[in-house]
Amino acid sequence: MDAFAPNFSISSFALSVAGLTEYIKAVLEENSTLRQVWVVGEVSSTKSHSSGLFFTLQDEAGTATINCVAWRSQLTKLANLPEIGAQITVLGSVRVYPQRSNYQLTVWQVLPTGDGLRALRYRQLRQQLTAEGLFDPERKRLLPRYPTALAVVTSPQAAAWGDIQRTLQQHHPGLPVIFSPATVQGDQAPASIVRALQRVAKDGRADVLLLSRGGGATEDLDCFNDERVVRAVAACPIPVITGIGHQRDESLADLAADVCAHTPTAAVAIAVPALETWLAEHQERLHQITLLMQETLYEADLKSGSLRQRLQRLRLDRQVHQEQTRLRQLKRRLAQAVQVRLRQAEDRCTALQEQLTTLDPESVLRRGYALVRAEGGEVVTQASALNTGQSLSIQLAQGRLTAQITAIEADDPGP
């Protein structure tokens, strides 16, 4: 044997083909990322089969491909069907097939690339928040009729902030404005908007809040569909008006707000009535008050005239005499009733006094009876409870005496 040959068998640690394939299958299918993965690519081929739709995705450069399958039970649930040459985004999981030693993507959903994925996420989040009740009409609060201070959350560099300032200057100059700056575009926007809303709530001076930004591309407005922003709008302790410069679709922040306006200028008009409107309403109220006072005075004058006519028809001296007679009768009846009650009370007192006299112990003693007490002060009622030689205290009607028992004669209890 060669001196350099190993002293063990290679077959003792080598994997079988099935073992290696199962290992690869476990590594791929148990990976948390590959169990639910989004993949973007171009459809390079499709093939319909009784069991489902088989197709191939490749990257833009055509340097990599992956086989995909959408089983027949899943086809009706797909938002789009793959077509050759289409750029799509698919959601699925990686599966390994040991018989052919290859892997493919089992597809659950197919969307157009870009906006399609965004729309899916929008619908899913909207359904979730709707189920939680964040968009219920019952949660909407009324705006203050005459706000004392307006809070504005937007970017200081945004055109919307300039529009808001100009509109306020023309619409209602002098109204206090609490400006809470925020980033309203990009990845940092959601957290920035949430902090700005929280600053306004903590400040506490504003009684209505305006969340605004100008128009832009759909992806520029994604921050207003962020779950953090939507929940912050719904949880804000003061009424919120959104003035986001787009009219194509409502953002989720629009749905959570108490009032939605599609432009910053329209939002200002809703939040703060114009001074001319306030003046017109004030003049209308003055007019209504004047009419009400005139009507009240007219009715009072009519009533006064009616009373004067009644006084002229009635003789007041006769009414006074009738009232005096009635009062004398009432006085006489009251005196009689008091006398009857007094006699009844006196009779009752006499009867109670006689009853008390009968029950008075001293009255009993005056009739020749005596009250006998033992040495401890207990009243003696039975001779059998005493002993010979025991001292007794005897109370008479006048005076007391002490006696000693020489003999005890108990009453015969009878048969």
Tens-digit pLDDT profile for residues 45-85: 999 999 999 999 998 777 899 999 999 999 998 888 898 88
**How does DSSP assign 151-179, residue by residue?**
EEEE-TTSHHHHHHHHHHHHHSTT--EEE
Q: Does domain 151-272 have CATH number 1.10.3720.10?
A: no
Is pLDDT above 50 for 415?
Answer: no
Tokens of residue 302, six digits: 């009519």
Same fold, 15-113 and 151-272: no
Question: For 398-409, what is each residue's pLDDT tens digit?
Answer: 888 888 888 887
Sign of the dihedral through C-alpha 110, 114, 117, 122 = negative
15-113: CATH class: mainly beta
Break the chain into its structural domains and give their ranges: 15-113, 151-272, 280-342, 365-404
Q: Does this model's pTM top 0.75?
A: no
Q: What percent of the chain is helix, strand and coil (3-state, nearest 5)?
A: 45, 20, 30
* Mean pLDDT of the residues in the chain: 84
